[in-house]
Amino acid sequence: MSNSDNKPLLVDIPKSFYSDETNAPFAKCLNCGRDLQEGQTQYIIEKAIKRYKDYSSTDTIFEYAICMDCHQKFMSVYSQESLANIQTYFLENARFDHKRHHLIEKLQDGVFEVDEWLSHCIIKGTPVSEMTEYQIGAQCVGDKMAALQMPFLIGNEALDEIMQLLSNKTIDGMNGFIDEFFGLPPDLKKLLKDTGVFVL
């Protein structure tokens, strides 16, 4: 039963996409401060996670939620060339494969297992148990998560490759935007610049 419209299904936001800071769903857009839980506001959540192999525990390095309006403003700093490069990279490398389709079918039957969706790098296929740093991303609408292409996990190996696809002009623009708009402490700004912002 393939979902011919490819419409995302709305599910409750799982705890792995709660803010670590508040232990609750993200309340506000990082950039404009808009209330994210009310109504039909669309937004993206990104969390960068460090995993300690020996202790099998994790730390969230940074996390944020940003509304689609602000995300679009942010995307406008990307050059056409960089955008095209990233799009091609995802088309050629993202593993929207049999396993993924199986998860979507389960979702259509009312079973959403977020850990399965985040069990390996969407690009490289590396299991999360073999990674020390990765990012997870999700798309949400108000107090629900929209599941289809997202949520997913990207390991740092693939993130490094994506950063290589960006032109210097795009990197300058991205850094300028982070400086100007993201109300983050300097060390987090640096981390965000080093790893990039999800571009989907």
Contact 140, 35 (CB under 8 A): no
**At closest approach, how far in Å is the CB of 66 from Zn ion?**
6
**At closest approach, how far in Å is the CB of 31 from Zn ion?**
5
**At closest approach, how far in Å is the CB of 36 from Zn ion?**
9
Using CB under 5 A, list all residues that contact Zn ion.
Answer: 29, 31-32, 34, 67, 70
Specify the residue, 24 or 32, whose C-beta has the smaller distance to Zn ion. 32
Specify the residue, 36 or 48, whose C-beta has the smaller distance to Zn ion. 36
Rounded CA separation 46/29 (Å): 12
Compute the half-sphere exposure of residue 31: CA atoms within 13 Å on the CB side of its CA.
Answer: 17
Render 18-79 in DSSP notation, one character per residue.
SBTTTTB---B-TTT--BSSSTT-EEEEEEEEEEETTTTEEEEEEEEEEEHHHHHHHHTTS-
Specify the residue, 34 or 120, whose C-beta has the smaller distance to Zn ion. 34
Rounded CA separation 143/42 (Å): 10
Pair of tokens at residue 156: 């740092």
**At closest approach, how far in Å is the CB of 28 from Zn ion?**
8
Specify the residue, 44 or 86, whose C-beta has the smaller distance to Zn ion. 44
